[in-house]
Copies of this chain bind each other. A is one copy, B any other.
Amino acid sequence: MAGIITLLTDFGTEDSYVGAMKGIILSLHPGVTIVDISHNVPPQDVTSGSFVLSHAAPFFPKGTVHMAVVDPGVGGKRKPILIETEKYFFVGPDNGIFDMALQREKVKQIILLTNKKYFLGYVSPTFHGRDKFAPVSAYLSLGVDPSLFGKRTQSINKLEFKQPPIHNGKITGQIIHIDRFGNLITNIDEGLLRRVFKNKAFQTEVGHIIIKKLVPSYAYAKDGDVACLIGGCGLLEIAVKNKSASKALMITRGTPVEVSARDKTL
């Protein structure tokens, strides 16, 4: 057991919601270490939450409980779940929020959270983060066996998130995240680029702009230059040196990105 619980939500930091969850967790497991991954996921944006979680979760020690609550369906039919993988526990709504993180994990079992013994005495229909997921995460971090929280299930819901398709040697992806610096992050990863283009040069087209420059890091571009690079997450990014690429190129999340070969060796 790592004794660590990470939190990812769209609750923001202006309200009492995050504090209430931490109070519950610390009441049940006073010695636990709570780490905020982010509470600033755009409201109800499950895909964005899944992306952020997937790039932070794998750096935590074995045994960490990753609790994620971006939960537009709270109080409705979506199920509360616990997923145990070889390294971690994931706790939250069954709406695809863990989809991207699970691509790197080996799933051992999926449990539907039904045992009320591990919920708060009164469960509000609008705040399962506090009333179900926080206490379940705390009990998990104390070593309670996953099977005690409910029955196993076989399938979970997936994000409507597609691997970028390849046609005629072109990869068609999209901008799935814009970070604080305005860098445009695509869903095209380094491994895919290598498989498709091998040692050939490629160019990236986004919003009618064709970018041929591929740099190892921001420091290799000149001020105002538009360039591609492989970011810290291993994904193809489009950046404008010392500017917000999102603002400079007027590109928003969801914009298609096409990567194709150039007749040149890298």
The 0/1 profile, CB within 8 Å of B marked 1, for residues 74-92 of chain A is 1111100000000000000
The 0/1 profile, CB within 8 Å of B marked 1, for residues 35-62 of chain A is 1111111011000000111111111110
**Which of B11, B52, B229 is in CB contact (< 8 Å) with A180?**
B11
The 0/1 profile, CB within 8 Å of B marked 1, for residues 1-43 of chain A is 0111010101111111111111110110010011111111101
**Which of B24, B35, B125, B181 is in CB contact (< 8 Å) with A19?**
B35
Given A26-B4, A76-B220: A56 touches B16 (CB 8 Å cut-off) = yes
Given A26-B60, A39-B13, A60-B23: A126 touches B75 (CB 8 Å cut-off) = no
**Does A231 make an interface contact (CB < 8 A)?**
yes
The count of chain A contact residues (Cβ–Cβ below 8 Å) is 74
Q: How far is the CA of A76 from the CA of B218 in the complex (A)?
A: 8
| Residues of the B chain whose Cβ atoms lie less than 8 Å from the Cβ of A160 | none
Q: How many copies does the complex hold?
A: 3
Given A75-B220, A231-B126: A37 touches B19 (CB 8 Å cut-off) = yes
| Residues of the B chain whose Cβ atoms lie less than 8 Å from the Cβ of A76 | 217-220
| A86–chain B nearest beta-carbon distance, Å | 16
Q: How far is the CA of A83 from the CA of B6 in the complex (A)?
A: 31
Q: How far is the CA of A69 from the CA of B125 in the complex (A)?
A: 32
**Does A256 make an interface contact (CB < 8 A)?**
no
**Does A263 make an interface contact (CB < 8 A)?**
no
Q: How far is the CA of A33 from the CA of B25 in the complex (A)?
A: 13
| Residues of the B chain whose Cβ atoms lie less than 8 Å from the Cβ of A231 | 124, 126-127
| A67–chain B nearest beta-carbon distance, Å | 13
**Which of B6, B39, B75, B230 is in CB contact (< 8 Å) with A217?**
B75
* Contact call A2/B30, Cβ cutoff below 8 A: yes
* Contact call B14/A37, Cβ cutoff below 8 A: no
* Contact call B75/A219, Cβ cutoff below 8 A: yes
| A230–chain B nearest beta-carbon distance, Å | 8
* Contact call A40/B13, Cβ cutoff below 8 A: yes
| A122–chain B nearest beta-carbon distance, Å | 10
